[in-house]
Chains A and B, each alone.
Chain A
Amino acid sequence: MGKAKDTSRSTKNKAQIIVGAVTAMTVILSACSSNAEVKDGNKAAGAEKAEIVWVMATDPEKKPWQDAMVSTFEDSHPNIKVRLELIPYDQFDQKLTTMIASGNAPDVWNPNQADSGFATYMKMGALKDLTPYISKGAPELDTMDPNLLDIYKIDGKNYGVPLVSNATYLYYNKDLFDQMNLPYPTTDWDDQSWTNEKMLELAQKLSHDVGNVRKQVFGFSSSLSPNAMAWAFGGDMFKPEAYTTGTMGEPDLLNPKNVEALQFNVDLINKYKVAPNAQTVAAAAQLGDPFMTGTVAMYISGGWGLGSYKQADFRWGVAAVPYHEGRKVTLYVDPWSVSATSKHPDEAWEFVRHLANPQEGGGAYRYMNEVGRTPADSSLFEDWYAKMAKEIGMETADFKQVHEGSIKYGREAENHLIVKFNTILSTINQTMPTVWNGDKTVEEGLKALNENLHSLKLN
């Protein structure tokens, strides 16, 4: 650069460089903008062709299904183009917020994929009321359990069409059970002898070498949130109204059943030493989850495990969550929604119907078959039971019993129902570690949590 020898030539050089720079800028500008024009030109050419945007979180496992959905829909609807946009989970909230703020909200998406969840977006006014479309007739929804459809019905209006309904199970590692010659836990949710105490006994027999990183095996762990732990013991951190109005209101933390539930889980870690402590769980969670390490014998978690544990190199099964009076477990029902600001709501609705179609070749049918997630549509259950049972290596009837029990004792996840629940959850997660590691008693922890929840401003 600038190696000119002669001063008198330098002005000329200078001019040349400036001209050069300006030309380069112009070329780049025009190259970039001509790209943009080409794109606009395409749009203009197919003026009657509506483009709808479909947003999902990235997941390589779902990619072939997503591509198939776009192409089959475009084949049957030649006037509609679907643009699939995939957003990594960690950046989902930020990208979605900019899209909403600029009036470019995606046409079709699942509001539970963002951390904030359905209730938050519904209250914000980001979602379209789908009732008029549903009442006009949608044969795709005929076989859907009305209870599931009602989860996303607020004040008589439907804001979402269920796609999956993940349940909660107790996963167990068959290899670890076999090593100890122990019988597998029951698949019958109504077996009242399968209590938490029984589970603890079993966990004590399964645990060994805790503290020795190379050999340790934990009898039990779970991915349950503190509130879900309370539910499993018949407790609840919030009042029933919270789930129907969407507003947290006055929490109900010191309910004796909550205390019992949390105390039991603290004791599993610190007193009986059958469960890994928070640090060990966090370390394992960086790569996947503790169950995948093969060193946890029983693990309570959501239905997505049926898919992700396929990679495990040990044998595993699913069973009932231990019985307790008033026990409830979490259901995670995810819906398809249409944005309130969608420029092509009719086309978007057509696409939702395609995604929800349980007939062979339809979205819900192929999602169950190709991605393997729990369908929401009742007509798909039998096929799914057979398919999952075969993959896991269980009897179809046993698997069906586990799943139906979970549905029977299930209730919808709180983050789908309470507005800004993720702020509430992160407040809970800030406060609880001091309880898990024994710095605070359960009561002290809940009192501190109560104070922190009160200082939240959620409106």
Chain B
Amino acid sequence: MKRKTYIHGQLRPAEKLLVYILLGAGAILFAFPLFWMLSTSLKSPGDIHKVPMVWIPAKIQWANYKQIFIDAPMGNYLWNSIWYTGITVVGTVITSSMAAFAFARMKARGSILLFGLVLSTMMIPSQVTLIPQYLLFNKLHWTGTYLPLVIPAFTASAFTIFLMRQFYLGISRELDEAVKIDGGSHFVMYFRILIPLSAPAFATAAILEMMSRWNDLFGPLIYLNDGAKYPLSLGLVNFTAAYGATPWHLLMAASLVAVLPLLIIFFFAQKYFIQGIVISGSKG
């Protein structure tokens, strides 16, 4: 059943050249913010405000990277981000894929209505549910801990349910029938067919969830109040200030340190979900 996946065939040399030119030009644009961060992170405070911008600072300040570890407990933040992101990604992806499976491939009364509810939760601006939600967690005495961030992650996310449902709808139904004929239950179907078949969907959902958790500033900001518990996203704000007093060189050094693990993970993970075991069941 294993098939090679379709990678837009073989390109003629001229076509290949065109693709390189297009992607290369785009890459310059897309890489600009990274270059800017790197350049700023190596500047002295005086260099930052130069107009026009100085790309390569006259004196490269590697010490900025040392400074951020002195000014803030970066290692501590990093650890908090790792365990928090790890747990929430696992929780969200598993519970969402279960619900997605149910919505995609099972018949039940009221399922359309329930799916409508799932989508609806994305349509209410979070600004107005923020306070009721905070009051709720406050009642539960969860504020000040990671509980309001971790526990809801184990109850699926609307975005991920919807995403995985769309992928599950793309997998042929004939396999289901085969399982049914064998007398297998929906659980068998889920664990034996859906999960192995939807590796790219899992990888995509996990990557996207991971990126948004790792970068989320607002949730931790609202619910945590002890600096020692901060994840990296929130720790970075130690380097911000109002009225133009932000030390950009330090903020950008710290931001690069924070984003580097994500870029590395993405670099390797994309290989996985791109070359992942994709099995087409269309005709046996």
Contact of B191 among A1, A89, A307 (CB under 8 A): A1
Residues of B within 8 A of A25 (CB): 154
Q: Report how far A85 CA is from B221 CA in the complex, Å.
A: 10
Q: A89-B240, A90-B240 are in contact. List 11 more A-B contacts (CB 8 A).
A: A13-B191, A14-B188, A28-B87, A32-B151, A33-B145, A36-B142, A58-B238, A60-B247, A91-B217, A101-B134, A304-B243
Q: In which size bucket is the chain B interface?
A: 35 or more
Q: Report how far A7 CA is from B143 CA in the complex, Å.
A: 45
| A213 in contact with B52 (CB, 8 Å) | yes
Contact of B147 among A36, A113, A294 (CB under 8 A): A36
| A57 in contact with B71 (CB, 8 Å) | no
What residue in chain B is nearest A40 (Cβ atoms)?
B141
Q: Report how far A117 CA is from B117 CA in the complex, Å.
A: 39
Q: Is A288 an interface residue (CB 8 A)?
A: yes
24 contacts between A and B (CB under 8 A): A1-B191, A3-B196, A4-B192, A10-B188, A11-B185, A36-B141, A36-B144, A36-B145, A39-B145, A59-B245, A60-B71, A63-B71, A84-B227, A89-B242, A101-B131, A102-B134, A104-B143, A285-B244, A287-B49, A288-B244, A294-B50, A304-B243, A307-B245, A311-B46
Asked whether A295 and B51 contact (CB < 8 A) given A86-B227, A101-B131, the answer is: yes
Q: In which size bucket is the chain A interface?
A: 35 or more
Q: Report how far A35 CA is from B143 CA in the complex, Å.
A: 12
Q: Is A94 an interface residue (CB 8 A)?
A: yes
Q: Is A308 an interface residue (CB 8 A)?
A: yes
| B130 in contact with A28 (CB, 8 Å) | no
Q: Report how far A94 CA is from B218 CA in the complex, Å.
A: 10
Asked whether A21 and B135 contact (CB < 8 A) given A32-B150, A60-B241, A88-B221, the answer is: no
What residue in chain B is nearest A101 (Cβ atoms)?
B131
Q: Is A138 an interface residue (CB 8 A)?
A: no
Q: Report how far A10 CA is from B189 CA in the complex, Å.
A: 10
| B45 in contact with A2 (CB, 8 Å) | no
Q: In the assembled complex, how far is the CB of residue B179 from the closest CB belonging to chain A, in whole angstroms?
A: 9
Interface residues of A (CB under 8 A from B): 1-4, 7, 10-11, 13-14, 17, 21, 25, 28-29, 32-33, 35-36, 39-40, 53, 57-61, 63, 83-91, 94-95, 97-98, 101-102, 104, 113, 213-214, 284-285, 287-289, 292-295, 302, 304, 307-308, 311-313
